[in-house]
Chain A
Amino acid sequence: MAVYDDITGLIGDTPLLRLDPARHGVAGVELYAKLEFYNPFGSVKDRIAWGMLKPHLAEIRDGKTLIEASSGNTAKALHILAGLHGSGLLALSNRTKVAEVRDVLRLIGAGLEELPGLSECPDPTVPDDAFSVIERRMAEIPGRFLHLSQYTNEDNVQTHVESTGQEILADLGAVDHLFGGLGTSGSTRGAAQALRAAVPDLHAVGVVSAADDFIPGIRSESEMWEVGLFRRELYQDIAAVRSADAIDGMLDLVKDFGVLGGPTAGAAYVAARRHLAVCEAGPRTAVIMICDRLEWYLSYLRVRRPDLFGSETPQEEAPAGALITPADLAERLDESDLLVVDTRGALAYRIGHLPGAINLRDDLLDQMIAQGNPFPAGQTVVLACPVGEYARRAAGILSRSGAHALALDGGVRAWRDAGLLLERSP
């Protein structure tokens, strides 16, 4: 490995990975993945952040702060690069919907102004889209901000012509198909422009999210109207991919090739397989863009595919547990070998729980139960859930693994309705 003096020296020259045809399954196609997560800050956006900023270094050294509409990767790269030259970034977005992206931006010190989501009845006299807000901010304090404007800046495209496109040309020569996600459209447009020098009838496909869906980092076709760089005529096709398919594609990339790309990589892979499968026969070469890594998107994936995170604990069949009424339990609360376990959420527990109860949320208790009885032998455990349903099932499973477990009949609600005391946590 070479030695570098400056992190910007590590931007670009990313590797291509040949995807095993036996695994991608499209006959006669050599499919390559351009692994943009090898860029130093982790995404294809590192290229344009540097490409757009380099001509303006003097301005930010003079104290100007960058302002940009970005949902994540561009903001991250711009802030880091500006920081190296004594400045920083204010990012505006109503598209920063992924918690990790937001947290990383905060962690590295970028300013983040989150715009409200679409209003049901927008007030036409108060436009609050990102572009209008940037104009307002710049007008409020003239000279304070520098807006590189990734959605309209031709340096965005030119950077990809000169780097991404040239790299693919140098490594592969003629390429027949290019598949990449459309955000600003800079990477696909720039790379396609360079590749057309070798193959004029290159088949470029812009990958977008389906109209009523959301894939972080790319837009729907209808949203491309806001993108000044977008030129519809430069693409042979626009492929709309659903987020569920993009996630499946992403998982295929991990499983079949060890490529840990993000959801846009999955979308590009899905679009490529679909398109190439119905193209004319004959040996062809195709490239897909792997824009960034999947670790960014854990919370996005958790919402859409909770099954991937093992949160769906299979419900065991067990006889229902024995019950104890609120009145009987109230009599026995002082017994030293009796433990009341409140299985509700922490908020509810803090607001009010049975005297002396500990809090062990049902999903956590389920994980413990799966390993056997987590409570000491000889202890009587009373499970208190909202209305008694969950506790009865869990007490049954616990009893089967040797615990002495009871369920509070009617749950905490019945306890409260019986006029019995609930205590608050400090």
Chain B
Amino acid sequence: MSLGPTLHPRCHPLVERLLAQDSGVIRWAAQGSVNVLLPQVFAENLERLREVLRKVDHRIFFAHKANRAPVFVTAAERAGIGVDVASEAELRTALQAGINHGRLEGSGPKSGEFVRTLVDSDIVLNVDSVWELVRAAQRARSLRRPARVLLRCSSSTPGRTSRFGMDEEAYRQAIGLVLADPDHLDLLGLSFHLDSVDLGERLGCLARVLTRFEDLHRLGLSPRVLNAGGGLPQVFLREPGDFDTYTNALRAGLIGAGPALTWNGTGLGYQVRDGVVQGVPVVQKFANRVTAAEELERTLTAPLPGQGGRSLARVLEDTMLQLWLEPGKALLDGAGVTVAGVQSVSVAGPHRLVVLNLGRDRLSPADQEFFVDPVLIGAHASGVVAEGVFLAGNLCLERDMITHRKVFLPRAPEPGDVLAFVNTAAYQMDLSAAPALGHPLLPKLEVVFSGQGFTATPEGADHGRV
């Protein structure tokens, strides 16, 4: 029996235990799919980052945008960190969770109303554009007190333009505005975010932003915060080599050097040219093997360009700057599971289809792919069936495929089986979920382990056992 390539999820021990038991959560899911949220995993992730930061003057703001659920905002409140809100709705959630304005930060592109609300509530604005800064200053003048602002610097590179933050010209304008109205614009510092997995690029970007602090001091300003944004990675796969093994087989399939593994020959971002497979797959983030804490440690300790071999941690200490971080996915790594039931199985041409009771948008944005195998509940993980299956969603659309790739499971799934997709809390489970066909959004269950067993509380309900 030839084995197909697998992508086993990396599971927190709590998730292992949850999936191994015939728990109420699993029985619930057999009737309809559900999202499981584990705030205890969130708290552990936070502790790991704090351990790395123990000698660095810092503040952490949980990036609420990564998951809609108030559960994690409450977890942030309990742990004593701040929350980064990107909309009025997120701000309301944070305030309801009991986080006061001093522990909040407003980020991302903002509406005029949102800018006004943030200034009115004396919440730090991570200003994304000159337009926002002008509005913040106007509002502050009418309130006769300063708006507290960070200026977000664009991390565009010659090869990749970022849609966020201010480029050189906009930054100069913004500084002009701050200098012109010091009574109403209190510049706390600068911020940036980098969408790259390359440590060298991150360090280069940090070094460039740091030189701007010197200019600000020369202009008579006293910035005291360096906000390095988020971008700390997640680890999805249990076996580090699985990603390469699967993508090697996938690429072999694309050029006919092995069995085809993708739906209708899609390359998932790979392109075939002259018999060679090129390009970057849309699933690149699933290749990562470095934990958020390890990446943060590397960022803090590697020599920064142009600083005489000094690391970021040293330069921050030297310059008395406070480091702000806005982790979202790093805190949610492993803290969510999407559980779905098998609705039916069928055959489509040469392929076996397994139709689930949820749509693709419950697991991943349309142009991406959840590149981790689901756990088939109750199946022995020892063997792997030779024949792979495609997982399809419950929408009436050709493109509603849960996976565009073959999944190899310990046995063939049957109607009534339950599949658990592990590590979906960050930007997977609810970023683009929509109530198409009248299918309701997935209910969310907060699951907490206490000594003997799990307590599950549906979102919005009073705490109690399911």
Q: Give the interface size class of chain B.
A: 35 or more
Give the chain B neighbours of A314 by CB distance below 8 A. Answer: none
Q: Report whether A120 and B284 are in contact in the complex, using a CB–CB cutoff of 8 Å.
A: yes
Q: A340 vs B303: C-alpha distance in the bound complex, in angstroms?
A: 27
Q: A116 vs B282: C-alpha distance in the bound complex, in angstroms?
A: 16
Give the chain A neighbours of B157 by CB distance below 8 A. Answer: 114, 116
Q: Report whether B196 and A118 are in contact in the complex, using a CB–CB cutoff of 8 Å.
A: yes
At the interface, yes or no: A371 with Cβ under 8 Å from chain B?
Answer: no
> Separation in Å of the B124 CB from the closest CB of chain A?
22
User: Chain B, 255-299, contact with A by CB distance < 8 Å: what is the 0/1 string?
Assistant: 000000000000001010111111111101100011000000000
> Separation in Å of the B315 CB from the closest CB of chain A?
6
Stretch with Cβ within 8 A of B (4 or more), from A125-133, A253-261, A272-280, A401-409: A125-133
Q: Report whether B284 and A119 are in contact in the complex, using a CB–CB cutoff of 8 Å.
A: yes
Known: A119-B196, A127-B271, A351-B217. A344 touches B318 (CB 8 A): yes
- Number of chain A residues whose Cβ lies closer than 8 Å to a Cβ of chain B: 51
Give the chain B neighbours of A220 by CB distance below 8 A. Answer: 244
Stretch with Cβ within 8 A of A (4 or more), from B107-115, B306-314, B433-441, B452-460: B306-314
At the interface, yes or no: A350 with Cβ under 8 Å from chain B?
Answer: yes
Other-chain contact of B308, A127, A346, A416 (Cβ < 8 Å): A346
Q: A212 vs B271: C-alpha distance in the bound complex, in angstroms?
A: 23
Q: Report whether B200 and A348 are in contact in the complex, using a CB–CB cutoff of 8 Å.
A: no
User: Chain A, 342-361, contact with B by CB distance < 8 Å: what is the 0/1 string?
Assistant: 00111110111000000001
> Separation in Å of the B222 CB from the closest CB of chain A?
9
Q: A124 vs B282: C-alpha distance in the bound complex, in angstroms?
A: 6
Q: Report whether B279 and A127 are in contact in the complex, using a CB–CB cutoff of 8 Å.
A: yes
Q: Which of A127, A151, A212, A352 is packed against the most chain B CB atoms within 10 Å?
A: A212
At the interface, yes or no: A143 with Cβ under 8 Å from chain B?
Answer: no
Known: A222-B247, A227-B276, A350-B214. A120 touches B320 (CB 8 A): no
Give the chain A neighbours of B269 by CB distance below 8 A. Answer: 122, 124, 127
Q: Report whether B278 and A131 are in contact in the complex, using a CB–CB cutoff of 8 Å.
A: yes
Q: Report whether B282 and A348 are in contact in the complex, using a CB–CB cutoff of 8 Å.
A: no
At the interface, yes or no: A14 with Cβ under 8 Å from chain B?
Answer: no
At the interface, yes or no: A424 with Cβ under 8 Å from chain B?
Answer: yes
Known: A120-B233, A129-B278, A311-B309. A348 touches B198 (CB 8 A): no
Other-chain contact of B277, A115, A119, A226, A386 (Cβ < 8 Å): A226
Q: A113 vs B276: C-alpha distance in the bound complex, in angstroms?
A: 23
Q: Report whether B197 and A119 are in contact in the complex, using a CB–CB cutoff of 8 Å.
A: yes
At the interface, yes or no: A412 with Cβ under 8 Å from chain B?
Answer: yes
User: Chain B, 192-222, contact with A by CB distance < 8 Å: what is the 0/1 string?
Assistant: 0001111011000000001101100110000
User: Chain B, 157-182, contact with A by CB distance < 8 Å: what is the 0/1 string?
Assistant: 11110000000000000000000000
Give the chain B neighbours of A419 by CB distance below 8 A. Answer: none
User: Chain A, 365-392, contact with B by CB distance < 8 Å: what is the 0/1 string?
Assistant: 0000000000000000000001100000
Give the chain A neighbours of B159 by CB distance below 8 A. Answer: 113-116, 128, 133
Known: A127-B279, A131-B278. A211 touches B244 (CB 8 A): yes
Q: Report whether A345 and B196 are in contact in the complex, using a CB–CB cutoff of 8 Å.
A: no
User: Chain B, 238-251, contact with A by CB distance < 8 Å: what is the 0/1 string?
Assistant: 00110010011001
Q: A220 vs B248: C-alpha distance in the bound complex, in angstroms?
A: 12
Other-chain contact of A348, B251, B275, B319 (Cβ < 8 Å): B319
Q: Which of B159, B248, B251, B289 is packed against the most chain A CB atoms within 10 Å?
A: B159
| Contact residues, A205-257 vs B (CB, 8 A) | 211-212, 220-222, 225-228
Q: Report whether A117 and B318 are in contact in the complex, using a CB–CB cutoff of 8 Å.
A: no
> Separation in Å of the A416 CB from the closest CB of chain B?
7
At the interface, yes or no: A363 with Cβ under 8 Å from chain B?
Answer: yes
Give the chain B neighbours of A118 by CB distance below 8 A. Answer: 196-198, 280, 284
Please name the residue on chain A nearest to B245 by beta carbon. Answer: A222
Please name the residue on chain A nearest to B196 by beta carbon. Answer: A117
Q: A220 vs B367: C-alpha distance in the bound complex, in angstroms?
A: 27
Q: Report whether B319 and A424 are in contact in the complex, using a CB–CB cutoff of 8 Å.
A: no
At the interface, yes or no: B317 with Cβ under 8 Å from chain A?
Answer: yes
Give the chain A neighbours of B315 by CB distance below 8 A. Answer: 345, 347-348
12 sample A-B contacts, Cβ–Cβ < 8 Å, listed by A number: A118-B197, A119-B284, A122-B280, A124-B282, A125-B367, A131-B279, A132-B279, A152-B274, A228-B276, A344-B318, A347-B319, A386-B318
Binding site for A on B (CB under 8 A): 157-160, 195-198, 200-201, 210-211, 213-214, 217-218, 231, 233, 240-241, 244, 247-248, 251, 269, 271, 273-282, 284-285, 289-290, 302-303, 307-310, 314-315, 317-320, 367-368
User: Shortest 6 CB-CB distances between A and B: which pairs?
Assistant: A117-B198, A348-B318, A344-B318, A228-B276, A116-B160, A348-B319
Additional 19 contacts, C-beta under 8 A, given A119-B284, A128-B159, A347-B213: A114-B159, A115-B159, A118-B280, A119-B160, A119-B280, A120-B197, A122-B269, A127-B279, A127-B280, A128-B280, A129-B278, A212-B240, A212-B289, A222-B248, A225-B248, A345-B308, A351-B213, A387-B317, A424-B218
Binding site for B on A (CB under 8 A): 94, 97, 113-125, 127-129, 131-133, 151-152, 211-212, 220-222, 225-228, 302-303, 311, 344-348, 350-352, 361, 363, 386-387, 412-413, 416, 424
